[in-house]
Amino acid sequence: MRVRPPLLQISNASDRLLVTDLCPLVDEGSLRQGQLVRVLKHQLVISNATGAKFAMIEEMEVLAQYGTQEKIGNPRNISEILDSAKDAGAKPQPAGITGDNFYGAKPESKAQDIPQRSNNPRPGFGGGAHPHVLPIEGLSPYQNKWTIRVRCTHKSDIKTWHKQSGEGKLFSVNLLDEGGEIRATGFNAECDNLYDLFQEGMVYYISSPAKINIAKRQFTQINNEYEIVFERDTQVEKAEDQSNAPQVRYNFTPIGSLQDIAKDTTIDTIGVLKDVGELSQIVSKTTSKPYDKRELTLVDDSLHSVRLTIWGNQATNFDTMPESIIAFKGCKVSDFGGRSLSLLSSGSMTVSPDIDDAFRLKGWFDAQGKTDTFTTFQNMAGAGDMGGTRSNELKTIGQVKDEELGMHNEPAYFTVKATISYVKRENYCYAACKGDSCNRKVQEIEPGNWRCEWCEKSHDAPNYRYIISINVVDHTGSMWLTCFDEPGNVVMGMSANELHALGEEGNNTLVFEDANLKTLTFRCRAKTDTYQDQQRIRYQVNSAAPLNFPAESARLQALIKQYEGLPDLVKEAGDQSLFV
């Protein structure tokens, strides 16, 4: 049932109760004493100086057709009503508009027929009275006493910072109730005290003191102009009744519609997990810190697939089986490789959510989605600044060669699981500049003097970096790969500086032997270049990682499932020769 906005009569036309946009109504005379208005949006505000309570009207409709009226009924100050009800230990009843059934006046209803919000003290907060339980949308910096009842829909990892002025740590939670959503953050001591208390999916009572600040949009995608900052005495208590609070709210964008979404837009999406990539790591160019990442492939009934990247602990601990339904809230749209998604640190991921969209997708995939063909965004024109096809699809060596990846005047990207059969020992590293982000080759002018012509600087020693050629094999063939420094560290198990030092002592033979027969996952770039007037395809390793056995097992199980029931189908066709 839709609740009609309340009617109010203006007893004193003053702009101190109106937001700035409504003040011109007073100046131009459209709003006068005795005027009837319908309030569409307001906030209950408590004065920090006097404690007086008044309604701050944000949106209203002036009912000009009724003109000004004499005072209707016997209105009372809201503060008096609340104070008298508190003294009597009773629930305050809203003062209705009375008098001759004017504009829909109703006979007074019985108290039990009107649902009321309880103002009784809630156990757990010292047994005393506490402020009214407000909806999230009612919070503002003007209030100093409040309680909200909310569900924690997301809890971030603990993050640290280091600056010249000091260091610290923080975490944040996303909170949801029937009326809205808000972000709350705890710093340092509050981070220690509250982090373990919050659990995703649980319902909590949170009471002031806590700061209500203007939201910092660079850190959150929640649609709320305010955010909460926990303080030392902020009270947080898990609700005994975990019901009557909404779950995560989604506004899903179908995968097929991503081509119409602008870059850097934040969206929610849901899909079937089609493929799970290996855990890998990148190093931030700005902070030089390593970050774990994992790429997932999602599909939906729009018959499109998309690559979605998850980060940090979510990537490290990911163990969801393919063909599961996953809902993502807070994904950033990127045009890298056509269209791709990245789960923000403030976003969340829910496996098999109990919502209609998940049941619909599951029914579609089980009925026909397993055999459907999907269009990927990776082959779209303008696929990122580097150009080329960035599918990073897992392929065999035979498939890479049969598909002639890299032969079409643009780079192609793929992933291969292969075993190292041979590592070239000649020229496996080079002497590089020690300058920041230079890495160019240096020449030894004299002992203890290495010169970089690019930087025009000299160093007492170089920084050795890998440039290794390795031969890898799988059950379909073999190929040569070139590894630079980062994948070289994974292949050899140590840095080029360490291996070079062992070579100077003649003790590096065992290291090369130990590198053989390692099975790794290689993310590669295939591109045609010219050597001695002949074209050839060069395969360069962008990253290398040991096998993730849980993910690899899940992938193999998914492959096996594709063949389940095949013997029965062949037998039904009358061909028994394939099976013993």
Render each residue's pLDDT in the chain as its tens digit; 580 residues.
444 555 565 655 544 466 666 767 776 777 777 777 888 877 776 654 445 566 778 788 877 655 666 666 666 665 566 566 555 555 444 444 343 433 333 344 443 343 333 333 333 343 344 446 888 888 888 877 889 999 898 888 888 887 777 888 999 998 988 878 899 999 999 999 999 999 888 899 999 889 999 888 767 777 788 999 999 999 999 888 777 767 777 888 899 888 778 778 888 999 999 999 888 888 776 667 788 899 999 999 988 889 999 988 889 889 999 999 999 988 888 876 668 899 988 788 889 988 889 999 999 999 888 888 888 875 443 333 333 444 567 889 999 998 888 887 678 888 899 999 999 999 899 999 987 767 888 988 888 899 888 888 888 999 999 999 999 999 999 999 999 988 999 999 999 999 999 988 888 889 999 999 999 999 898 988 876 677 788 999 988 888 888 777 877 777 777 666 555 555 555 544 443 3
The confidence score (pLDDT) of residue 220 equals: 73
DSSP code at position 178: S
Whether residue 188 contacts residue 171, with contact meaning beta carbons closer than 8 Å, is answered with no
Q: At what angle do helices 485-492 and 496-504 cross, to 10 degrees?
A: 60
How far is residue 87's CA from residue 79's CA, in Å, rounded to a whole number? 12
Could you write out the DSSP letters of every residue in 227-256?
Answer: EEEE-TT-EEEE-S---SS------B--GG
Domain extents for the chain?
7-113, 133-238, 255-376, 389-428+467-547
Place of tokens 């500049």: 433
The superfamily CATH assigns to domain 389-428+467-547 is Nucleic acid-binding proteins (2.40.50.140)
Q: Tell me how far apart the alpha carbons of residues 36 and 50 are, in angstroms, rounded to a whole number.
A: 28
Q: Which two tokens stand for residue 355?
A: 């919502």
Residue located via tokens 């799970």: 276
Q: What phi and psi, each to the nearest 5 degrees, are found at residue 350?
A: -125, 125
For domain 133-238, the question of CATH label 1.10.760.10 is answered with no
CA 203 to mean position of chain CA atoms: 21
Q: Between the CA of residue 306 and those of 257, 281, 301, 526, 556, what are the distances in Å?
A: 11, 20, 12, 22, 21
Please report the beta strands in 164-245, taking only residues with DSSP state E, as ranges in sequence order: 166-176, 181-187, 203-207, 210-214, 226-230, 235-238
How far, in Å, CA of 298 to CA of 447, rounded?
A: 57
Task: Please check whether the two domains, 7-113 and 133-238, share a CATH topology.
Answer: yes
- Length of the chain as a residue count: 580
Minimal CA–CA distance to 415: which of 392, 396, 390? 392
Nearest by Cα to 297 from 309, 279, 311, 285 = 309
According to CATH, the topology of domain 7-113 is OB fold (Dihydrolipoamide Acetyltransferase, E2P) (2.40.50)
Tell me the CATH architecture of domain 255-376: Beta Barrel (2.40)
Measured distance CA(85)–CA(94) in Å, rounded: 11
User: Which tokens hold the place of 159?
Assistant: 């993050």
**Which are the contacts of 242, defined by CB distance < 8 A and separation ≥ 6?**
202, 203
Find, among 213, 209, 238, the residue nearest to 228 by Cα. Answer: 213
Q: What's the pTM value of the predicted model, to 2 decimals?
A: 0.42
Q: Provide the pLDDT for residue 130.
A: 43
Give the C-alpha separation, 328 to 343, whole Å.
8
**Cis, peptide link before residue 322, omega less than 30° from 0:** no
With 0-12 / 13-18 / 19 or more C-beta atoms within 10 angstroms meaning exposed / middle / buried, residue 272 is buried
